[in-house]
Amino acid sequence: MNQPAAIAALDATYTISGATLVDGVTLEVNHGELVALVGPNGAGKSTLLSLLTGEREPTSGRTQLEGRLLSEWPHKELARRRGVLTQDNNVAFAFRVAEVVEMGRAPWQGTPQSDEDDAAIADAMERTDIAHLADRVFTSLSGGERARASLARVLAQQATIVLLDEPTAALDLRHQEDVMRLARQLARDGVAVVVVVHDLSLAAAYADRVAVMSKGRLVTAGAPGEVLTEQLVEEVYGTPVCIFPDPTTGAPLIVPVRS
């Protein structure tokens, strides 16, 4: 398979005012693949993600999208290819949810694809379970509803690479599962998906690969069952865990050891 990875960090390092936030990370994500980025707070997950979005340029090393340096992509082209959900989902002014989701279509303005705007918006709202909120003002939503509405905006963008920074953070149990299932579905449709998550069991249940970061470095990346060992998790997180297979799916469940 000689096709370049959908999105890749190649020996990427990011240093700011003396602190190395990302340290020589190489991570390639292919179309149709769901990669969960995990690691303790401050491990550099969000920084790595911002390198992959092209927001920041690595101080050394490279970041590429479909084999081409991110910095060489025209801004608009980039917006048609990769969608990003940030942790900050505030919206200034009283825009309605439907309007916010519609903003995801902005990169397609003036292209033939803009004919699909309405369908893309409706589909995105359906899949994130916010169709009933369409006429509500975004700022009046609860945290979980906001997260889903922002996710709908990313879906409406119809990018083939999707980077999600903690999309499940504000969500209840059911919507966490919904969002991860959605990410899974995107991957099945050929989208390259990178998701930052904190819940290791959630990552293990849905991701093709889990990439574990610690102190700016990529410790390991691979199939959840192989990568997530008790020893590794304990080493990275500094707290003992117990891992056992999910009785129904066999995916690893990670539970902290409590005394």
From CA 38, how far away is CA 243, in angstroms rounded? 16
| DSSP line for 135-160 | TSBGGGS-HHHHHHHHHHHHHHTT-S
Check: CB of residue 196 under 8 Å from CB of residue 35. no
Q: How far apart are the first and last CA of the chain?
A: 49
* Shortest distance in whole angstroms from residue 161 CB to other proteins: 11
Number of residues in contact with other proteins, rule: CB under 8 A? 31
Q: Out of 78, 195, 210, 227, which residue is the one contacting other proteins (CB under 8 A)?
A: 78
From CA 138, how far away is CA 161, in angstroms rounded? 25
Decide whether 84 or 228 has the Cβ nearer to other proteins: 84
* Shortest distance in whole angstroms from residue 111 CB to other proteins: 11
Q: Helix, strand or coil for residue 231?
A: helix
Give the containing element (helix H, strand E) for 16: strand 7-16
Q: Using alpha carbons only, how large is the chain's radius of gyration in Å? A: 18
Is 184 among the residues that bind other proteins (CB under 8 A)?
Answer: no
Pick the piece of the chain touching other proteins (CB under 8 A) from 10-18, 57-65, 78-86, 194-202. Answer: 78-86
Contacts of other proteins in 82-121 (CB under 8 A): 82-84, 86, 88, 90-96, 98-100, 103-104, 106-107, 109
Structure tokens at 31: 């179309």
Contacts of other proteins in 38-77 (CB under 8 A): 53, 55, 75-76
* Shortest distance in whole angstroms from residue 86 CB to other proteins: 5
* Shortest distance in whole angstroms from residue 4 CB to other proteins: 22
Q: Helix, strand or coil for residue 228?
A: coil
* Shortest distance in whole angstroms from residue 224 CB to other proteins: 28
From CA 170, how far away is CA 153, in angstroms rounded? 17
Which residues fall within 8 angstroms of residue 236, CB to CB, at 6 or more apart? Answer: 39, 40, 43, 212, 214, 219
Residues that bind other proteins (CB under 8 A): 53, 55, 75-76, 78-80, 82-84, 86, 88, 90-96, 98-100, 103-104, 106-107, 109, 134-135, 153, 157
